């Protein structure tokens, strides 16, 4: 039945930040369909200019409370690249454990608190405390596991202070490593419970496919989150030094955030992109989870990003156990508390990339001879997904144009949530040129 549709003005709920869905149709004919981003820029790139090289990572960690460790780590990689600072093998493993902890807590937060209510037919996770009490407690335990890892390796669950250029101010001792190891080993029952729960509700995931390009880090020897080079499912390995030619940021009228494109009119980053590009490097248990959902590369169903997050959670628990085993077997190299590596400050430009929970993240800083930042640029994962969400909506809406308006709106909001957007990570500043008025003073 042809109908008139008018969806606009309502912020999408259960996402980080502010975005709206706009759909207008008359007599079943689609007239407008837009993913609109209304979040205000927060000018973090401007805040680092004029500040010292050893302050930069602390400033940009405030971009996001959920991904604070990833922003810190990406900034550190850029600073260390620009100032030629080495990082020890031990510290690289400890940093990978930091990223694992943050990714576990972020994925579980999204799956359990933001996406699961859609599958269970609830408006939020709050009423699920009555109808799914044990399942909610399981999600909370896994979420806390990620936070415990961050407290152990970073000193805090958010905005940690221990990672610094060249290493750590403080590292955990062996007893703390063993405590986390035990917690990880004891988490498998909870992971399997969440897998069973999502599997039982998986038929609620909309069956929608649109071919797109996937971009992530990749590494020949490991599932890339910290180390690796950018990789496109369309064109292969990419040059990090030319990251601006990868993302091709551009302004669109419907968004306060920039959109991006690479080989096609849009691309996707995040858990599904990483699983598609790096499936062979997943751990055995992670592959078992993927196989139970029928997830195999190359998957072009954006709603399967939720499943990919669950696959990565299993992988990161298994990989973290391996990293801790390696550290304990080698024995921790001791260092004093409040450790500060010696750094010879020089002028330079550095670029860093890591995988945030929501996708590949780029930081780029230029420092003068005193180590004072002259320029900063941060390209966040969610901005790289905006164009893909837009094109998914453009293909999806005509296929359900005869459904009730409330159902269309709900399905489109589920689509947005599937990307786990962190819209409030907007960082860009405007480079404003003031033009002197020739008649001024007359």
Give the structural domain span for 330.
44-425
The structure's pTM equals 0.93
On whether residue 22 sits in a domain, the answer given is no
Binding site members: 45, 64, 67, 422, 425, 428
Does any domain span residue 98? yes
Average pLDDT over residues 2-22: 78
User: pLDDT tens digit string along 102-152?
Assistant: 999 999 999 999 999 999 998 888 899 899 999 999 999 999 999 999 999
Q: What pLDDT does 5 receive?
A: 84
Q: Is the pLDDT of residue 47 over 60?
A: yes
Q: How confident is the model at residue 2 (pLDDT cuts 50, 70, 90)?
A: low
Residue 26 located in a structural domain: no
List pLDDT tens digits, range 56-91: 999 999 988 888 999 999 999 999 999 999 999 999
Strand partners, 379: 362
- Please indicate, yes or no, if residue 368 is contained in any of the structural domains: yes
What is the count of structural domains for the chain?
1
Above 50 in pLDDT, residue 439?
yes
Q: Which two tokens stand for residue 107?
A: 């994925």
For residues 420 and 309, give the distance between their C-alpha atoms in angstroms, rounded to a whole number.
Answer: 10
**Residue 2 is assigned to a structural domain of this protein:** no
Whole-number pLDDT of residue 435 = 57
Note the pLDDT tens digit of each residue in 274-302.
999 999 999 999 999 999 999 999 999 99
Residue stretches of the annotated binding site for Fe cation: 67, 425
Angle at 388 between CA 387 and CA 393, to 5 degrees: 100
> Within a domain: residue 18?
no
pLDDT of residue 79: 97
Q: Which residues make up each annotated binding site for Mg(2+)?
A: 45, 428
Residue 442, domain member (yes or no): no
What is the domain-level CATH number for residue 171? 1.10.645.10
Average pLDDT, the chain: 92
Which tokens is 207 given? 């069956």
Residue with tokens 């996707």: 268
pLDDT of 381 over the 80 cut: yes
Detail the residues annotated as belonging to a binding site for Ni(2+).
64, 67, 422
How remote is the C-alpha of 233 from its chain's centroid? 18
Three-class secondary structure of residue 285 per DSSP: helix
Residue 307, domain member (yes or no): yes
């Amino acid at each position: 039945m042809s109908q008139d549709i008018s969806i606009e003005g309502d912020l999408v709920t259960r996402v980080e930040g502010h975005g709206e869905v706009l759909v207008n149709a008359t007599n079943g004919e689609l007239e407008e369909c837009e993913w609109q981003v209304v979040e205000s820029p927060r000018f973090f790139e401007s805040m680092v200019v004029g500040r010292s090289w050893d302050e930069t990572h602390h400033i940009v960690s405030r971009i996001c409370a959920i991904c604070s460790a990833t922003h810190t780590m990406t900034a550190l990689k850029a600073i260390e690249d620009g100032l030629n600072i080495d990082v020890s093998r031990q510290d690289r493993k400890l940093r990978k454990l930091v990223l694992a902890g943050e990714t576990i807590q972020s994925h579980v937060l999204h799956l359990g608190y933001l996406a699961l209510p859609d599958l269970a037919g609830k408006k939020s996770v709050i009423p699920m405390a009555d109808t799914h009490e044990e399942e909610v407690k399981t999600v909370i335990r896994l979420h806390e596991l990620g936070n415990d890892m961050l407290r152990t390796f970073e000193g805090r669950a958010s905005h940690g202070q221990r990672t610094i250029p060249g290493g750590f101010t403080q590292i955990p001792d062996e007893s703390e490593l063993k405590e986390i190891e035990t917690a990880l080993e004891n988490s498998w029952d909870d992971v399997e419970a969440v897998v069973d729960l999502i599997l039982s509700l998986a038929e609620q995931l909309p069956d929608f496919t649109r071919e797109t390009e996937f971009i992530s880090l990749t590494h020949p020897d490991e599932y890339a989150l910290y180390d690796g080079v950018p990789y496109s499912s369309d064109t292969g390995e990419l040059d990090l030094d030319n990251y601006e030619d990868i993302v091709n940021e551009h302004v669109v009228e419907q968004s306060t955030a920039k959109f991006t494109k690479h080989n096609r009119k849009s691309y996707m980053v995040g858990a599904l992109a990483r699983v598609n590009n790096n499936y062979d490097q997943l751990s055995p248990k992670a592959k078992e989870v993927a196989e139970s959902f029928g997830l195999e590369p190359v998957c072009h169903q954006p709603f399967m990003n939720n499943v990919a997050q669950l696959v990565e959670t299993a992988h990161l628990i298994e990989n973290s156990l391996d990293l801790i085993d390696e550290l304990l077997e080698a024995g921790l190299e001791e260092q004093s508390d409040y450790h500060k590596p010696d750094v010879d400050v020089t002028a330079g430009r550095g670029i860093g990339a890591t995988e945030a929970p929501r996708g590949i993240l780029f930081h780029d800083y230029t420092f003068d001879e005193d180590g004072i930042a002259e320029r900063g640029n941060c390209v966040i994962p969610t901005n790289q997904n905006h164009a893909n969400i837009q094109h998914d909506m453009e293909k999806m809406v005509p296929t359900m144009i005869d459904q009730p308006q409330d159902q269309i709106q709900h399905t489109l909001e589920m689509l947005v949530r599937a990307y786990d957007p962190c819209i409030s990570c907007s960082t860009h500043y405007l480079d404003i040129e003031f033009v002197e008025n020739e008649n001024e003073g007359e």
